[in-house]
Structure 1
Amino acid sequence: MTVESLLRALPAADDKHKRELIRQLGETHSPAAIPALSGILRDQTTALYLRRLAAVALGEIGDSRGCLALVTVLDEPARPDARLIPRMEKLRHQLQAQLEDPALSAAQQASVQQQLAEIESVIRHDGDMMRLLKLDVIRVLGDIGFVLALQPLQTIIKAGQDAEFVVAAEQALAQVHEKSGLEVEEAPPEPEPVFVYKEYLTCSKCSVTSETGLVRRCHNCRLPVCAAHSVEEVGLVFCSSSCLDSFADQPGNWVYWT
């Protein structure tokens, strides 16, 4: 698919297809995808795993114009959620069991170990999934190497509040120094706003509509539900706790929590 066709398909795609579209947009290495990917990354109502994919895709494109959206993520507050810890511990147990499989290839083992490290990080920080997105952003800023990243990375290092962030920021800062040569450049212009597809919905549990409040579809059963009647976890919206548990127990869906 061309960049244009991927961008046309993106607004109306469900989250499952968006994941693949975002990945493909990154592989195009086309700056034309930056506004759409930046919009996904900036949207705090978007599932965190999609925002992480958008950050990685911007890094693959490697254009300095992607730094504007990346830097803004670093200012978002932490999102500790102790309710996630039991689920993270369950995922950790499942992944540890996978590592014992002798048929696992070296690449698969490395992938599982990376996921385990991320889960351990979330557990250590009271269920804060937001930190994984920020760590991705820090690494991507280093990969792009644009001087716009200097100040936010230096701020993280000076704050020294999170050892994992400091190490990542120091590595990224070294990359920025190397790639930019510390030449002062003007910040690139703000990307043009992109059209965001909005679906008109009415909550399945009350009379709230898209015009009067925030109504989104349940990630499991797809029923529309308003903010007051929804259950949200790791950026995914569900119409009930039972629907959340049903989705989480489906084979393969553990990836949404990593």
Structure 2
Amino acid sequence: MAAYREHITVSGTLGIAYAFAAVISFGFSITQAIIAAILTWIAGMLPDMDSESGRPIRELSGITAALAPLVLLQHANYLGISNDRAMMFSLLLYGAVRYGGAALLGKLTVHRGMFHSIPALIIASEATFLAYHNPDPKVRLLMAGGVALGFFSHLILDEMYSVQWDGMRIKVKKSSGSAIKFFGKKHMPNAVALGLMMFFSYACLMNVGIIPDPNVAPAPEVLEITGDLEAAPVYRMADEPTGAVYR
């Protein structure tokens, strides 16, 4: 398994390259590219959220606790939340994530479980796409792509370090194949991960309009009237005066 330093070095380097490509090749702004680079760097540590202890979980708890209130503030105006309430909710969210999130993950997860998997990668990138507030789907896709890139770099490094070569023979560790996987050994974590992946996938497809939102009523159809209205037949009631005309 790769060390913490290798993970943040690789994901940070990928983040810089991703930012340059976003500006030069795709025309995103420098600010958007910098945010995408930082998200790529952070995502390179995300699979270690299931670490039992040590520096990765401490760093991730602090970073996640700092990012969660920022995401909330980004949506505050859109949701109609006042500044005072937005600040209060942000402080409460920081405390809940910083001091309660790590303890909860420690009880619900195991190292090299479903956090180290392709479904977890998809969930992280789709959650970023939904959480990042921007009217342009391309910008949100840029952020989600950065998270996917950083997350995948972590899985790749773990698999690479599970294979050792001493110059004479290749030795494969027991952890080989436990990072890049679609299913784990236990049914309940598999069901939760796949269920979340399908839920976020449905939400993303509905967000971009590929799947219609069931809560939004379709626009009423407008009957297009063509032809000469003057040519329509004229009807008169028997007891109506001559000037009363019905079409």
Task: State the TM-score, normalizing by the size of structure 1.
Answer: 0.22
Please say which structure displays the higher CA radius of gyration.
2
Greater relative CO (CA pairs within 8 A, separation 6+): 2
